[in-house]
Structure 1
Amino acid sequence: MRITFERTGGFAGISKKTSVDTDTLPPHEAAKLPRLVEVADLFRLPELITSPNPQSDRFQYKLTVEDNGKQHTVTVSEAALPGTLRPLIEWLQTIAQKR
C-alpha cells in the first residue's frame, strides 16, 4: 500500500508533502497503515469533501491511496474532516514531520 499525502493552506500557507509505502516502513508502522485506511473507509469517500462554511487559514488535505491495483484520491478541507479520517491524517502528519 502506498499513500501520497499533501497538506496545504493554513495561516502561513506552508505545504507539506510525503509519500508512505508499507514496503519501506518498519513492520509495526507497515501493519498500522492498512488498518487506518480501512477505518477511514477511504476507498468509499468522495473525491472532494468540502465544508458548507469555508473558513480561511484552514488546512486542506489531499490523499492518494494505491493498493492492489486500486487507486483513489480524496481532497478534504480541515473544517469538513470526517471523524473516521482524522486518525489517518494525524498519523500521516506525524510521518511527514519526521522526514
Structure 2
Amino acid sequence: MDWACGGQWNRMVQFLSLLTRAIERGNIELAVVFNGTIEQCRMNEWVAEQANVRQRVGMVLKHINTKATPPPKIWWTAPTCLRSALRMALRHLGVTVVRF
C-alpha cells in the first residue's frame, strides 16, 4: 500500500543516497548500466512476462474491488516507471548512468 502512497519512493532515494555516500567514502567510483535495447532473442520472454504482470494486476484489482482490502504482498508489481525513476534518482545523486 505504501507504494501507492509514495512512501517507498522516499525510502528508495534515501537508501540510494546512503549507498552512494558509503561508496564515495570507500573511494569507489560507481557506474550503473541499464539495458535499453529490445533483443530479438528475448522478445518471447518479454511477452510472457508482460502477460504475467497483466494477470497479476487483474487479480489485484479484482481483490480490491471484491474485498476492499490491500492485496497480498506476493502480488506486488513494479511500477512501469520504476526504471526511469531509478535512473533519475541515481543521476540526481551524481552516479554515472549508462543506457545501452
Task: Bin the TM-score by the shorter chain.
Answer: under 0.3
Choose 1 or 2 for highest CA Rg: 2
Higher RCO (CA < 8 A, seq sep 6+) = 2
Give the structure with the larger strand fraction: 1
Q: Structure 2 length as normaliser, TM-score?
A: 0.27
Q: TM-score, normalised by structure 1?
A: 0.28
